[in-house]
Structure 1
Amino acid sequence: MGEYRRTISRRITLKRLGKSVGFACLVLCASLPLAYASEQSESLFHKAIEAHWKWNLEEAINLYEKVLKQDPYHARAFFQRGVAYRTLGKVDLALADFTQALNVQPDLVDALFGRGLIYARQNAFDKAIADMNGVLAREPSRRDALKTRAKLLLAVGKVDESIADLDKLLSIAPSLSDAYFMRAEAYLKKGDNRKALDDLSAGLKLNPRNAQALIKRANILLATGDKKSAIQDYTKALALEPDNVEALENRGKAYTMLQNWDAAEKDFTRALEVKPDLRLALLNRAEARYRSGKYDEALKDYDQLKNLGKVDAELLFRRAQLLLALKRCQEALPDLDRVLELDPNNLSARELRGEAHAALQQFDKAIGDFDAVLAKKPTETKYLLARAAAHEALNHYTKALKDFERAVQTAPGAASAEMYYRLGRSYLLNLKFPQAVDAFTKAIDKDPRLGLAYANRGVAYKALKDYDKAQRDFKEAMKFLDTQERKEAVL
C-alpha cells in the first residue's frame, strides 16, 4: 500500500443476484498504478473494474486475467478476480485468488477478509478465525470482521470470546440489531435466559419485523412459563411469516399448556398443511383432540402416525390411552404389550394395561400389572384401590382388605368418603363388623349425604345385633338413595 498507492473502496453485495455472500459483503476496490506498473495494465484494470461494477462478471474476469499476464504481481487484480469468482459461485477459484493476492501483498486486508468468509462457509472455522484475527489486528474496529469473528467463535464454542466481540461491536454500532440477536444466541448457550431475553428485546426495538428473533424470544418466554406473552410473540412472527412451522407448532404447544385445545388443534392443523409429514405436530394434534373429547379424530391421527412409520413407545401408549377412553380395551392391549416390550420399565403403560385387564374382567392379569406398579410405588393410592377391587372380584377378601387399609393409611388426611366407604365394605366382606362401622362413620363424616354408607353401616349394626342403630341408619339411607333399586336393596 504505502505512498505509491491510494485505494478507492466500494462495498458490493450479491443481493442484486438474489444470493448471499455469507457473513458479510466482499469489498470491491480499484487501485491506481504502483510506481512500477505499466500504464497499459492499469488501464486494463480500470476497464475490468468498470465491467465488474456493471455486473459483467465474465468480461471482468477476462480483463483481470489480461492485467495479470502483464503484471503477475498485481495483488488487487487477484483480489478482484477472486471477488468475481466468488460471486459466480466458483469458490475454489476465489479462494486461490485471495490467497495469491495475500502472497503478493500480505497486508491486503480485504483479501484476508474475503478468504476468511470462504473458510467460514466451508466450516474451516480455525482458518476463518485466523484470517479474521489478521483483519482485526490491522483494523480493530472493523464491524463486519467483528461480527464474523463473533459468529465463528460461537460456532466453535468460545462463547465468552464471542460475547466480547459483540460487546465491542455494539459499543461501536449500538443500533446494529443483528449484533443483539447474535449476542442473545450466545447468552442462550450459556444458559442465561434473562440476558438473552434482554438482547432479543433490544434488537426487536430496532428491528421489530425480524420473525426469527420474535420466535426465539417466544421460545424463551414459553420455557420460563410466560405462555401468554409467548403466544403474542408467535402471533407477531406468524403475521410476518404465516407458514412458519416452528411458530405454528410452538404456539400450538403454548395453547396446549393453557388447555385451549381448539386453538392448539388449529395451529397443529395449519402446520401440517404446510408440511404434512410433521410427526410431532400430528402427535400433538392427536393429543389436543383427545383432550377436547374428539376421540375418533384423535384416533385417525394416531393411525396416520403408525402409517408414517417410526412407531415408538410414546405413540403406542397415547393410542392405547385413547382406545381405553373409547372403552375399546381389547384393542388397547396389543399396543400396551408392545410398549412394554420396547420399554419394560414403563410404569405408566403397566398401570394402563392393568386398568384394561380389569375393565375386561381379566382380574388375575390386572393384579399382576398392579403388583409391578406397586413394587415401584408402594403408596400409590389409585393402584392400591384398583388391586383391592380386583382381589375382591376374585373373592380374595383378605388381600383386598389389606390393600384398602394401606390406601387409607398412606394419606389419611386426604382419604375421601369413597375410600372409607370401600374400606367399610371390605370389612363387611371379611365379617369385621366393628371396623366396618368405624369406616362407614368416617365416610359419613366426610360426606353426610352418602346414602350407601348409612345403608351398609346399618348392615354392620344389624350383624352386631344393635337393631336400633341399624334401623336409624336404614331410615337415613332412604333420604339419600335415589334409585328404586337401591331402596329395595336396603329394605
Structure 2
Amino acid sequence: MSALKHTLNLTVFVAMATLFVPLAESQDLGIRDTNATAAYEEGMKLLEAEQWDDAVAAFTQAVNIDNTYAEAFFGRGEALRNMDDYQAALDSYKAATNIDSKSAKAYNGQAIAERELGLYDLAFNDFNNAIGLDRRDPEIAANLGDLLVNFRQDPTSALRVLDKAAELDPENAEVYRNRGLAHAQLRHFDEAEADLAKSVELKDDDFETYSMLANIYLFQDDKEKIPQAIEALTNAIKFYEPEESSDPKTYVQGYLLRSDARLTLANEAKTPAEKREELYEKVNEDADAVLSELPDTFPVSGQALYRKGVALRMQDKYGEAIKAFTDALQLVPAGESAPYTTNAYLKRGICWFLQDENRLARKDFLLAAASDYTDPLPHMWTGFTFAAEDDFRSAIDSYGEAINKNPNFALPYINRGLAYAALDEYQRAADNFNEAILVEPTNPDLYNQRGRAYMLMEEYDKAFNSFELAALNDDQNSQSFEAAAETLRSLGRNALAEKYEQRAQELKEKNN
C-alpha cells in the first residue's frame, strides 16, 4: 500500500472516529455548538439584566442544542431561583452537577434551592460538597453558615463557618448578622450585639438586622436595654419592605413588639409619670398603625386591640379599654382561642371592677379562669369583687382557689388574711400573713400586717417582734417604728419606746 493511500485511510478513520465521540466528552475536547454557545451567552446577558423569563428561555435553548452544557443548566437554575421556582431550579442545578461534579457553584445553587424547599439535610450535604470543592468562595461559606444557624440550630458549627466567611468577605453584612445570631443562641450577648452593629454599619437599611438586634435586646430581660430595643424596632419599621405581594405593607410584628417594649418600660416603677403617659400614648399609636391596615384580621388585629386596651386601662380610660378588649375578643373565631384571650377577659374584668360593676367583672374572671385553669389571678380578682361588697366569706373562698392554683403566690394569702381580719378572726389573719411571709420573707408590709393582727389580739410581744422585723427589712419606714413604739408602750417598756418614736420622727422629717 502506498504511503499516500495509508495516510488517506488514517485520515478517514480519525474523521469517522470523531463523529462517534460521546456527547459527554465533547466539552472536554473543546467542541461546543456555536448556536448553543450563542444562546448561553445571551442567557448570561439576560441574567445580568435580571430578565429572568427571557434568561430561562435562552438557557433552555442552549441545553436543547447541547444537553451536556453544564454552565447553561447552572444559568437556568440561577434564573429560576430568582423567580422563586425552587423545584425547577433544583432540577437544573442537578443536571449541572450530574454533568460536572466538580462545579462548586452548581452545588451551591443546588443547596440553596434545597434549603428553600425545606430539604435541610440535603442542603447541608450539598453546601459541604460545594465548600469541599472551593474553600475560598465566601458565598458558599456564608450560605452554609446561614443554614447552620437559621435552620439546623447549630450555632457552634455556624460560628466556625461564619468566621471564615467574614475573613473571606469582610464586607458581607448578612454574615455578621448571622454570626450575631449564632452568638446570641450561645448567650454570648456582647459578641452578638457587636456583630449586629457591624452588620448595620455595612448595611444600614436592612429591617431584618434591626429586628434581630431588638429581639436580642429584649431576650436578655435587661430593663436598661429596652430603650435600645425600641430604637432598633423603630428602624426595622422604617426600613421594612414586604417580600411578597401578599405581605402586609407595614411591619406588623415590629409594631406589636415595640408596643410590648413600651408597655414594659411604662410599667417600670422608676419611670416618671409624665414619661409613663407618653409611652402609653405611643402604644396606642402602634396599635392604630396595625389596625389602619388590618382592622379585622385574626389574630393580628386582636393582638393590637389587646395592647391598646392594656394601655388605655393604665391611663384610667376604663370605658375605652373595655371597648378595645371587647373588640379583640370578638375577633376570635368560634371554637378557637388566641394568645390574648385569658388576659383580655381578665383585664376587661378589672376595668368592670374599677367601674364598680362587680357582677360583670366576676363573669369575665370566670371566663378567664375557664381559659387557663392554672392562673390564680382570676380567682384573686373575684375575691376582690366580693370583698368590695363586704362578702368576706365568699372572698375567702375565692382567695383559697387562687392559693390552690399557686401556693407560692403571696397576694392571695395577704388578702385572705385581711378578709379574716375584717371578720374579727385575727388568729386566722395572722396565720395567712405567716403563709405570705414564707413566700416573701423580706417584705416589710407582711410583718406590719401580722403585727396589727397580733395587736388586735393583745399579743404585744408577738406584735413587737413583727414590727421590729418590718423595720429591719425597711429601716426608712416611719410607720413600722411608730407601731413598734406603740407595742412597747403597751408592754410598759417606755424607755425603748421613746427610742423608736424618736427614730420615727427623724424619718418623717427626712421624708418631708
Instruction: Give the TM-score normalised by the residue count of structure 2.
Output: 0.68
Structure 1 residue aligned with 2:272: none
Which amino acid is 1:233 matched to?
A
User: Are 1:322 and 2:351 matched, yes or no?
Assistant: yes
- Quick one: distance in 2 between partners of 1:379 and 1:79? 63
Which amino acid is 1:198 matched to?
A
User: Are 1:254 and 2:261 matched, yes or no?
Assistant: yes
Structure 1 residue aligned with 2:228: 229
> Which of 148, 155, 160 is 1:159 aligned to?
155
Shift in CA distance, 73/322, structure 1 to aligned 2, threshold 3 Å: same
Once the two structures are superposed, the pairs formed by residues 62-101 of structure 1 within 5 Å of their partners are 68=63, 71-86=66-81, 91-101=86-96
Give yes or no for contact 1:350–1:372 (8 Å, CA) kept in 2.
Answer: yes
- Quick one: distance in 2 between partners of 1:172 and 1:137? 15
Which amino acid is 2:165 matched to?
L
Shift in CA distance, 291/96, structure 1 to aligned 2, threshold 3 Å: closer
Provide the secondary structure at the position in 2 that maps to 1:258.
Answer: helix
Structure 1 residue aligned with 2:29: 35
Which amino acid is 2:320 matched to?
E
Structure 1 residue aligned with 2:119: 124
Shift in CA distance, 34/340, structure 1 to aligned 2, threshold 3 Å: closer
Give the gaps of 5 or more residues in structure 1: 1-31, 455-459, 461-491
Structure 1 residue aligned with 2:324: 301
Shift in CA distance, 390/105, structure 1 to aligned 2, threshold 3 Å: closer
Shift in CA distance, 423/283, structure 1 to aligned 2, threshold 3 Å: farther
Give the gaps of 5 or more residues in structure 2: 1-25, 241-248, 267-275, 469-477, 491-512
Q: Relative to structure 2, which stretch is displaced further, 86-95 or 170-179?
A: 86-95
Once the two structures are superposed, the pairs formed by residues 397-436 of structure 1 within 5 Å of their partners are 397=424, 399-404=425-430, 407=433, 414=445, 426-427=456-457
User: How far does residue 332 in structure 1 lie from its aligned partner after superposition?
Assistant: 0.9
Q: Relative to structure 2, which stretch is displaced further, 370-379 or 294-303?
A: 370-379
User: Are 1:114 and 2:109 matched, yes or no?
Assistant: yes
Per-residue CA deviations over 1:85-131 (Å, capped at 9, x if unaligned) read 55566554443343333333322333333322222221222222222
- Quick one: distance in 2 between partners of 1:57 and 1:447? 79
- Quick one: distance in 1 between partners of 2:55 and 2:173? 35
User: Are 1:45 and 2:37 matched, yes or no?
Assistant: yes
> Which of 143, 156, 180 is 2:138 aligned to?
143
- Quick one: distance in 2 between partners of 1:360 and 1:152? 61
Structure 1 residue aligned with 2:22: none
Q: Relative to structure 2, which stretch is displaced further, 171-180 or 89-98?
A: 89-98
- Quick one: distance in 1 between partners of 2:374 and 2:57? 70
User: Are 1:219 and 2:245 matched, yes or no?
Assistant: no
User: How far does residue 307 in structure 1 lie from its aligned partner after superposition?
Assistant: 0.5
- Quick one: distance in 2 between partners of 1:389 and 1:89? 66
User: How far does residue 77 in structure 1 lie from its aligned partner after superposition?
Assistant: 4.0
Give yes or no for contact 2:63–2:69 (8 Å, CA) kept in 1.
Answer: yes
- Quick one: distance in 1 between partners of 2:428 and 2:52? 89
Per-residue CA deviations over 1:10-30 (Å, capped at 9, x if unaligned) read xxxxxxxxxxxxxxxxxxxxx
User: How far does residue 333 in structure 1 lie from its aligned partner after superposition?
Assistant: 1.0
- Quick one: distance in 1 between partners of 2:72 and 2:119? 25
Structure 2 residue aligned with 1:103: 98
- Quick one: distance in 2 between partners of 1:127 and 1:78? 20
- Quick one: distance in 2 between partners of 1:240 and 1:60? 31
- Quick one: distance in 2 between partners of 1:60 and 1:381? 70
- Quick one: distance in 2 between partners of 1:133 and 1:198? 28
> Which of 256, 263, 266 is 2:282 aligned to?
263
Give yes or no for contact 1:45–1:64 (8 Å, CA) kept in 2.
Answer: no
Per-residue CA deviations over 1:385-443 (Å, capped at 9, x if unaligned) read 6445545666xx3x24541576489589546888766765x55xxxx6x969x99xx89
Structure 2 residue aligned with 1:354: 383
Shift in CA distance, 223/368, structure 1 to aligned 2, threshold 3 Å: same
User: How far does residue 168 in structure 1 lie from its aligned partner after superposition?
Assistant: 0.5
Give yes or no for contact 1:48–1:61 (8 Å, CA) kept in 2.
Answer: no
- Quick one: distance in 1 between partners of 2:173 and 2:110? 26
Structure 1 residue aligned with 2:497: none
> Which of 134, 154, 157 is 2:129 aligned to?
134
- Quick one: distance in 2 between partners of 1:247 and 1:51? 40
Which amino acid is 1:238 matched to?
I
Shift in CA distance, 51/300, structure 1 to aligned 2, threshold 3 Å: same
Q: Relative to structure 2, which stretch is displaced further, 341-350 or 209-218?
A: 341-350
Which amino acid is 1:269 matched to?
D
Give yes or no for contact 2:146–2:158 (8 Å, CA) kept in 1.
Answer: yes
Q: Percent same amino acid among aligned pairs?
A: 18
Which amino acid is 2:158 matched to?
S
Shift in CA distance, 86/338, structure 1 to aligned 2, threshold 3 Å: closer
RMSD of the alignment, in Å? 4.1
Which amino acid is 1:137 matched to?
G
Which amino acid is 1:403 matched to?
A
Structure 1 or 2, whichever has the larger Rg, is 1
User: How far does residue 329 in structure 1 lie from its aligned partner after superposition?
Assistant: 0.8
Instruction: Give the TM-score normalised by the residue count of structure 1.
Output: 0.70
Once the two structures are superposed, the pairs formed by residues 333-412 of structure 1 within 5 Å of their partners are 333-373=362-402, 383=412, 386-387=415-416, 390-391=419-420, 397=424, 399-404=425-430, 407=433
Matched length: 412
Structure 2 residue aligned with 1:463: none
User: How far does residue 347 in structure 1 lie from its aligned partner after superposition?
Assistant: 2.2
Which amino acid is 1:227 matched to?
I
- Quick one: distance in 2 between partners of 1:337 and 1:378? 20
Which amino acid is 1:163 matched to?
L
Shift in CA distance, 111/291, structure 1 to aligned 2, threshold 3 Å: same
Structure 1 residue aligned with 2:21: none
Provide the secondary structure at the position in 1 that maps to 2:135.
Answer: coil
User: How far does residue 148 in structure 1 lie from its aligned partner after superposition?
Assistant: 1.2
> Which of 257, 261, 281 is 2:304 aligned to?
281
User: How far does residue 217 in structure 1 lie from its aligned partner after superposition?
Assistant: 1.6
- Quick one: distance in 1 between partners of 2:321 and 2:328? 11
Per-residue CA deviations over 1:443-489 (Å, capped at 9, x if unaligned) read 9x839999xxx9xxxxx9xxxxxxxxxxxxxxxxxxxxxxxxxxxxx
- Quick one: distance in 1 between partners of 2:417 and 2:155? 58
